[in-house]
Amino acid sequence: MATVLAELTSEEGQQDNLRILLIEEPEAHLHPQLQIRFLRFLEEKAKETGIQVIVTTHSPVLASSVSLDTTVHLALDSSRKVKATALADCGLSKESKDFISRWLDVTKSTLLFAKGVIMVEGIAEALVFPELAKRVLINHNNIAKPEDKLPVTLSECGVSVINLNGIYFKHFMQLFCDLTDKNSDSLPLRCAGLTDNDPDSEKLEKPTKDNPAEGKNHALSLIDKAKKSPNCRLYTNLKTFEYDLAMEGGNLNVMIPVFLKILDTDGDIRKTFNKYNQIGWSASSTTDDDKKEVAFDLLKRIDKIGKGEFAQRLAMKLSCPSEQFAVPDYIKKAVLWACGRN
């Protein structure tokens, strides 16, 4: 490559001509660290020589290492035509651009290569979501017309789950829809976000479907803005991810045993949850008012033992297809939206 660059710069009379170097997928046969070093080399030479360098890539490593201002995304739009979208034209504020540039590590840069994207707040959702999606997609296919059936996993649908590690939807979703009403361009991909309702924690809120609580999450203001776009949706729940799972169907029958396996004490907490575990939560005799007390207590304990470990064990449990577990509606909607269904 250095030889090619040398030839482009050494020929006499080339200074007044347009010199372009096209490189297809330079990541082939290069380990990640060398990919980044090679990209830096190209950038330096392009600045030194005035040569226009255009690189095509499927490497998240390269995508996470290049400036947003120099990135052009290629994808099929809804009419199956190729659309080229410059990320610089997506209406990102300087704050959002700086934020994404720092945050767009190798994992999150997969959003640039997906056919659909699901954005979640934390590691718990990222670990459990693929297993929940399998159940949603299988149930969808059981009732869908043949032409509406979908693959039964997110990976087969080409959908990536992106863990934002926080409530940063305003930065990332701007790539997929115009949240600023400035007629900016957008990537032609389906994007679904899931954000917690987060009612006032000081009031010890225990919301139910019949008695919801007002959310304090600032991202909730983006829900209506996202609805105006053809590709973006933001969904929310009663309280938090774990709380809503516990409130759905008989899910406590699965979640309580998972918690008890992690719990490393034999005191009052274990005694209390052993009593909870004796209740048949899928029975019609248990109401949402019964569940909300246990869901609240379980959420409090999970926060202390670690959401990541609980989610990892729950995901392993749900990987068994015979395990009975109900998926909340807001998650169903997000999965089907990202996979191309309304």
* 248-296 pLDDT, tens digit each: 999 999 999 999 999 999 999 999 999 999 999 987 778 999 999 999 9
What pLDDT was estimated at residue 103? 87
Q: Is residue 192 part of a domain?
A: yes
By percentage, how much of the chain surpasses pLDDT 90?
A: 77
Q: Is residue 336 part of a domain?
A: yes
Which is nearest to 235 in space by CA: 179, 176, 194? 194
pLDDT band at 214 (very low <50, low <70, confident <90, very high): very high
Mean pLDDT of 58-87: 92
* Burial of residue 309, with CB atoms counted within 10 A of its CB: 0-12 exposed, 13-18 middle, 19 or more buried: middle
Could you give the CA distance from residue 244 to residue 242 in angstroms, rounded to a whole number? 5
pLDDT band at 181 (very low <50, low <70, confident <90, very high): confident
Q: Does one domain contain both 45 and 111?
A: no
Q: Is residue 286 part of a domain?
A: yes
Structural domains in the chain (count):
2
Q: Does one domain contain both 38 and 122?
A: no
What pLDDT was estimated at residue 17? 75
Q: Does one domain contain both 46 and 165?
A: no
Q: Does one domain contain both 126 and 220?
A: yes
What pLDDT was estimated at residue 16? 66
Q: Does one domain contain both 61 and 99?
A: no
Q: Is residue 172 part of a domain?
A: yes
pLDDT band at 206 (very low <50, low <70, confident <90, very high): very high
By percentage, how much of the chain surpasses pLDDT 70?
A: 98
Q: Does one domain contain both 129 and 240?
A: yes
Of 135 and 42, the one with more pLDDT: 135
Q: Is residue 84 part of a domain?
A: no
Q: Does one domain contain both 28 and 105?
A: no
pTM given for the model: 0.91
State yes or no: pLDDT of 11 exceeds 90.
Answer: no
What pLDDT was estimated at residue 284? 77
Q: Is residue 74 part of a domain?
A: no
Q: Is residue 75 part of a domain?
A: no
Give the range among 71-85, 115-129, 146-160, 192-206 with minimum mean pLDDT: 192-206
Residues in the chain: 342
Of 102 and 292, the one with more pLDDT: 292
Q: Cα–Cα distances in Å, from 27 out to 41, 56, 104, 114, 255?
A: 13, 10, 18, 18, 43
What is the domain extent for residue 31? 2-66
Mean pLDDT of 215-219: 93
**Highest mean pLDDT pick, 98-102, 199-203, 245-249:** 245-249
Q: Is residue 316 part of a domain?
A: yes
Give the range among 13-17, 171-175, 176-180, 325-329 with minimum mean pLDDT: 13-17
What pLDDT was estimated at residue 14? 59
Mean pLDDT of 224-253: 96
Q: Does one domain contain both 128 and 51?
A: no
Q: Chain-wide mean pLDDT for the chain?
A: 92
Q: Does one domain contain both 47 and 160?
A: no
What pLDDT was estimated at residue 130? 96
Of 202 and 130, the one with more pLDDT: 130
Q: Does one domain contain both 325 and 213?
A: yes
3-state secondary structure the chain: CHHHHHHHHHCCCCCCCCCEEEEECCCCCCCHHHHHHHHHHHHHHHHHHCCEEEEECCCHHHHCCCCHHHCEEEEECCCCCEEEEEHHHCCCCHHHHHHHHHHCCCCHHHHHCCCEEEEECCHHHHHHHHHHHHHHHHHHHHHCCHHHCCCCCHHHHCEEEEECCCCCHHHHHHHCCCCCCCCCCCCCCEEEEEECCCECHHHCCCCCCCCCCCECCHHHHHHHHHHCCCCEEEEECCCCHHHHHHHCCCCHHHHHHHHHHHCCCCCHHHHHHHHHHCCCCCCCCCCHHHHHHHHHHHHHHHHHHCHHHHHHHHHHHHCCCCCCCCCCHHHHHHHHHHCCCC
CB-based contact 199:103 (threshold 8 Å): no
State yes or no: pLDDT of 12 exceeds 80.
Answer: no
Q: Does one domain contain both 53 and 122?
A: no
pLDDT band at 202 (very low <50, low <70, confident <90, very high): low
Q: Does one domain contain both 43 and 109?
A: no
Residue 233 is which amino acid?
Answer: R
